[in-house]
Amino acid sequence: MPEKNFEYKEGESGIFGRIKRPLIDIEVEDYNGKWLKLKNVLVDTGADISILPRDLGEMIVGDITQGKIIEIKGIVPYARLIVYVHNIKYRISDFTFVTPTAIADSNDVIPILGRTKGIDLFNAFFERGRNLSLQWE
């Protein structure tokens, strides 16, 4: 079974000080068919959907408003966040997959790889805040 390992990356938290997070580098296909590398995408098992900030979304799909508009609630910078959902192709090593991705109408969100049609496609092993291993068939 193919596998890709990622070391957690250290960053700053306003609550805990220096912490490590499961941040990965992943590739995404833009509207011209070119693969772009996204750095420091948070692997979030609590996120139902993957999300990107507006500036990255515009680089990938062009006009973000062509996607399905919805409001999301939860851990977002506002009570509600307007997003446009697009089906985006991602690649980790030689494994490609298409997942619905919410592109925020804001740059105040971080890139997140969520569960639905994202992390759920993998066997994901989180090793005590140090490493993340993703396996696929």
Please say whether the beta carbons of 31 and 62 come within 8 A.
yes
What predicted TM-score, i.e. pTM, was given to this entire model?
A: 0.93
Alpha-carbon separation of residue 84 from 16, 21, 29, 41, 115 (angstroms): 32, 26, 17, 19, 18
Q: 102-127 pLDDT, tens per residue?
A: 999 999 999 999 999 999 999 999 99
Domains of the chain, start order: 3-135 (2.40.70.10)
If phi > 0 it is left, if psi is from -120 to 50 it is alpha, else beta; for residue 28 that is beta
Q: 45-99 pLDDT, tens per residue?
A: 999 999 999 999 999 999 999 999 999 987 666 678 899 999 999 999 999 999 9
Q: Which helix (H) or strand (E) holds 37?
A: strand 35-43
